[in-house]
């Protein structure tokens, strides 16, 4: 599993935004989103950066989102989550 395996859909709240979510076999979940400039999402579609939230097995999000992440950084996170 890597960034290019994510299936993006229109963001349900942010006009012009996109979002993907994937739950791993270990029940951890990654949520990846981006929007147009000044949309309030900490990821910019035009610059290929994304806002990432990671959720534990119990559904609780880690302390904070990771902002302005690149596809390479997200792939690295996904590999680490898979090993938990």
pLDDT tens, residue by residue, 3-51: 999 999 999 999 999 999 999 999 999 999 999 999 999 999 999 999 9
pLDDT tens, residue by residue, 37-46: 999 999 999 9
Cα angle 26-82-1, degrees, rounded to a multiple of 5: 115
Using DSSP, how many helices (H) and how many strands (E) does the chain show?
Answer: 1, 5
């Amino acid at each position: 599993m890597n960034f290019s395996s994510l299936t993006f859909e229109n963001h349900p709240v942010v006009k012009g935004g996109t979002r993907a979510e994937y739950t791993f076999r270990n029940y951890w979940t990654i949520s990846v989103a981006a929007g147009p400039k000044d949309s309030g999402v900490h990821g910019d579609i035009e610059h290929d950066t994304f806002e990432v939230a990671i959720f534990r097995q119990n559904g609780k999000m880690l302390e904070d989102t990771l902002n302005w992440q690149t596809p390479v950084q997200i792939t690295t996170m996904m590999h680490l989550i898979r090993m938990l």
